[in-house]
Chains A and B, each alone.
Chain A
Amino acid sequence: MTKLSYAKGLNRALADELARDPAVCVFGEDVGAGLAGLTPGLQARFGADRVVDTPLSEQAFTSLALGAALAGMRPVVEFQIPSLLFLVFEQIANQAHKISLMTGGQITAPVTYVVPGSGSRDGWAGQHSDHPYSLFAHVGVKTLLPATPADAYGLLVSAIRDPDPVVLFAPAGALAVREDVTTELVPVPIGSARIHRPGEDVTVVAAGALVYDALAVAEELAGQISVEVFDPRTVYPFDWAALSASVARTGRLVVADDSNRMCGFGAEVITGVVERGAPLRTAPRRVTRPDGAVLPFALGLDRALQPSRDQLRDAVRAVMF
């Protein structure tokens, strides 16, 4: 048995894929130094021409990765901060994502985009604390949000092998997690959810690091309310079959989502369940960031805008009646 950290899970997935497939390569800022935690040791092992340090030219290197993909490579692009995805939204949503359809299926774009630290990172303020997974799901880019070290490993491997563009968000709140790994690390299929804790009364769909809050609340309420903790792992495509089955058992639904409330992932999950005619016994609830949230710097203000354990517990209690 070994302890695997989240960052190490990502790092190992990337190392394994670089070793397995010569087409895999990495672009990003300070990737040689391994500053963001994804790439330590990889440049020394695989060379500076496969683990490529780029200048601060995100728009160019994001589409350069697309060009390389069209020519047969499998690039992984790292972004140090989540808001850089706003900068390269055009290159991902408008270029990489659209090329397969627009060329009538002549070509695909196997590029993986990784943000190793998305969401609030205590004290990084308004422009460094976004968690824009709903945005990418909205435009239809495959969007991954692993919560555990083993899932981080498995989903990054699947992302790299996937024939389409994939964005992987490593939640800042999960980066410090370490996990006992007893079995061999394996790829995790994209679009497959995971139930961390079975329960009978309420299904809590928890996105990213909120899985840990959901588990804590479930434990706290054990004996009173039996909570099922459902981790979608993939935001898009979403595992509707698994969620329908869970809600069919529990009849109650709460979603914990670190997106803004308006047009966020939580809204989609609830709608999807309701649309399918699930036999909900009470009105579903969601715990999210507020509409249009900009995270203020001061820690107390930052925390006030993120979904909290207290809010989640209240929501679980509320759907019981």
Chain B
Amino acid sequence: MTESTPAGLYRGMRLIRAFEETALSLVRSGEIVGGIHPYIGQEAVAVGVCAALRPDDQLTSTHRGHGHVLAKGADPRRMLAELAGRESGLNRGRGGSMHAADLSLGVLGANGIVGAGAPIAAGAAWAALRQGLDRVVVTFFGDGALNQGVLLEAMNLAALWRLPVLFVCENNGYATTLSVQAGVAGSALARAAAFGIPAEAVDGMDVEAVRLATERAVERARSGAGPSFLECRTYRFEGHHTMERRVRLNYRSAEEIDSWRRRDPLERCDPGAGQRAVIDREVGELMAEAVEFALNGAHPDPAGALDHLYADGLLPRAGVPT
């Protein structure tokens, strides 16, 4: 769980940044297969939101999900082991970058399908209401998801049934190569308003602003007033996916990237006098340990490739007669 003190917020963001930088280098060295969607640049969103949550609150994550899962408290060692496909990973090496999740922390899955997490979050929130729990469920999604019917359908249900859901749109300006200007008619906030969902735009590079806005929304949800919508304006500093390092695409200008890098959420966060260096060193040591842990983990046994497919132990037929 992310602590809401200045040092806690900074540490949460530094951990994600360091984790992603480590993951990038393991992609380069071939230890992580299939690549990742780096979260670098957007740390203030995951950390600001999760700092306003209780441990029993839940969330659904996305293809760009490492930050959300870490901010909710996942062990970076087991998270990295998951990305490296080891049995010691959060998902026993079955999920990988796009699905790394820790259910014990209320992470109801990271998703490879854009927009797919929103109705799942609404369902968990509906169940919480029925069960008399006052938990809140957050669904993270990108600007690209604003154009998925299923997200808009989930917003309608959440508003109609006053579900304790917080819709967090991480507007980083692009869905892969498509800019928001070219992809979204009207606006994110207007879409929420159309369902009567209170909506607010937040500087997604300012962790404290995100935390405060989330606090207000969470308060509303817990008091029974229903869903809220936050549009966090942010930016990804890296390519959409690590494969973008191999193919040259020019949908964003160098000046644009630079101007956002100058608003780096880690630089703009003051952890308190003398804290920065201490935290940086501590996180650096943690990540070194995580690499050790991840790369020394055992690879899963291929004989167990279909383990966990069915909860009741049903054994499917193999691909050849046995």
Contact = CB atoms under 8 A, between A and B. Distances in A.
Interface of A: 29-30, 32-33, 35, 53, 55-57, 59-60, 81, 83-84, 87, 121-128, 261-262, 285-294, 296-307, 311, 314-315
Contacts of A299: 33, 85
B133 interface: no
Contacts of B99: 125-127, 297
A303 B112 contact: no
B320 interface: yes
B221 to A, nearest CB: 27
Nearest to B82: A297
Interface in B70-101: 82, 85-86, 91, 93-99
Interface stretch (B9-17, B48-56, B172-180, B258-266): B172-180
Interface string B154-176: 00000000000000000000011
Contacts, number: 151
Nearest to A80: B176
Given A55-B178, A56-B115, A56-B145, A298 B317 contact: no
Given A33-B249, A301-B304, A307-B319, A125 B176 contact: no
Given A56-B115, A296-B305, 4 more contacts: A32-B177, A300-B85, A301-B304, A305-B319
B78 to A, nearest CB: 14
A292 B96 contact: no
Nearest to B321: A285
Contacts of A289: 319
A87 B113 contact: yes
Contacts of A56: 114-115, 144-145, 147-148, 175, 178, 183
B302 A300 contact: yes
Given A56-B175, A87-B113, A261-B317, A294 B309 contact: yes
Contacts of B86: 298
The A interface is mostly helix, strand or loop, or mixed, namely: loop
A127 B33 contact: no
B184 A55 contact: yes
A122 B99 CA distance: 15
Interface residues of B, number: 49
A112 to B, nearest CB: 22
B224 interface: no
A175 to B, nearest CB: 13
B182 interface: yes
Interface string B280-315: 000000000000000000011011111001000000
A29 B176 contact: yes
B316 interface: yes
Contact of B96 (A123, A293, A305): A123
A74 B311 CA distance: 45
B316 A293 contact: yes
A29 B144 CA distance: 11
A286 B321 CA distance: 8
Leading 10 A-B pairs by shortest Cβ distance? A123-B34, A297-B96, A298-B85, A127-B112, A123-B33, A291-B316, A304-B302, A298-B93, A55-B147, A304-B305
Contact of A292 (B147, B300, B302, B309): B309
Contact of A301 (B93, B177, B317): B93
Given A125-B34, A297-B91, A30 B320 contact: no
Contacts of B278: none
B149 A59 contact: yes
B35 interface: yes
B93 A290 contact: no
Interface in B211-234: none
Interface string B94-131: 11111100000000000111110000000000000000
B273 interface: no
Nearest to A292: B316
A287 B306 CA distance: 17
Contacts of A59: 149
B247 interface: yes
